[in-house]
């Protein structure tokens, strides 16, 4: 494996006022400092991005957005463009989160356009992929993941591939309290890396960070992060409190005394 940094990302979804968001950053900084071996990414709601930008720059964390439109500007009421996100200080953008797909009807084709648009602005897309419970029970997990991966990254050049971040988030485990076992998560992560290698090569695929998302909590983080192809986490509910998220950031792989 490469020496890439672990990425621990917080997706606050539709939570936190500006004041609450800024206070959280301070609490998290006090709890975890600025870890050298792992990157901490916060994705607040659009309204808090500017204020959080100032706070994260002082704390040494990274800033991202939860969504974007694929056009740089235009008559798209209510949308936010990649240039706007770059201007406000974002380095990352979540693309194709399951809630965007299943609540708002976003498609693989839309995800592909968003990934390309994020890259054009020099930011990093975090492409979210994953199967529903029905798809898993029907034995379609790998088919769904392969399709979403191929379509979502269909416009990415080989030179950009090392900067891609993929988040595997089984839809059946998001906000349900159910979590894929470490073995289940590893099985899909290994499959994703193999698919990435088939599109590029093994060395490039090893540079891609593959995150797990789906009811990540302080009591399961250590076991998840012990798996060889899990390079980080996309955390939802447990990222809303600094006390729980700081424990996730400070995960300790069992048996690792370094």
Active-site residue list: 97, 169
Could you tell me which residues are beta bridge partners of residue 102? none
The CA angle 181-183-188, to the nearest 5 degrees, is 100
11 in a known ligand binding site: yes
Judge whether 237 is annotated as a binding position: yes
Q: Is 67 annotated as a binding residue?
A: no
Give me 140's structure tokens.
């379609």
- Establish whether 215 is an annotated binding residue: yes
Q: Which of 41, 17, 43, 180 is nearest to 100 (CA)?
A: 43
Task: Please tell me whether 13 is known to bind a ligand.
Answer: yes
**Whole-angstrom distance, CA of residue 28 vs CA of residue 46:** 20
Residue 236 annotated in ligand binding: yes
The rounded distance, in Å, linking the Cα atoms of 92 and 62 is 8
Q: Is 105 annotated as a binding residue?
A: no
Number of H helices, E strands in the chain: 11, 8
Given a contact cutoff of 8 angstroms between Cβ atoms, the answer to whether 246 and 31 are in contact is yes
* Binding positions: 11-13, 175, 215, 236-237
* Binding positions for substrate: 11-13, 175, 215, 236-237
């Amino acid at each position: 494996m490469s020496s890439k940094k672990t990425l621990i990302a917080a997706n606050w979804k539709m939570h936190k006022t500006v004041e609450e968001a800024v206070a959280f950053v301070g609490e998290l900084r006090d709890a975890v400092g600025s870890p050298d071996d792992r990157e901490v990414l916060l994705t607040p709601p659009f309204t808090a991005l500017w204020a959080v930008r100032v706070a994260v720059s002082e704390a040494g964390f990274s800033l991202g957005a939860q969504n974007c439109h694929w056009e740089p500007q235009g008559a798209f009421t209510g949308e936010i463009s990649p240039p706007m996100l770059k201007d406000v200080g974002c380095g990352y953008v979540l693309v194709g989160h399951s809630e965007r797909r299943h609540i708002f009807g976003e498609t693989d084709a839309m995800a592909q356009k968003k990934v390309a648009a994020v890259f054009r602005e020099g930011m990093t897309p975090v492409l979210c992929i994953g199967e529903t419970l029905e798809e898993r029970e029907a034995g379609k997990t790998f088919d769904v993941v392969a399709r979403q991966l191929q379509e979502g990254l269909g416009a990415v050049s080989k030179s950009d591939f090392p900067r891609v971040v993929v988040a595997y988030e089984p839809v059946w485990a998001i906000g349900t309290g159910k979590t894929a076992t470490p073995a289940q998560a590893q099985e899909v992560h290994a499959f994703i890396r193999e698919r990435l290698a088939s599109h590029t090569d093994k060395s490039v695929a090893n540079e891609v960070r593959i995150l797990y998302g789906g009811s990540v909590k302080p009591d399961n983080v250590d076991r998840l992060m012990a798996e060889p192809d899990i390079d980080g986490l996309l955390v939802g509910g447990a990222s809303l409190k600094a006390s729980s998220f700081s424990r996730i950031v400070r995960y300790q792989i069992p048996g690792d005394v370094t």
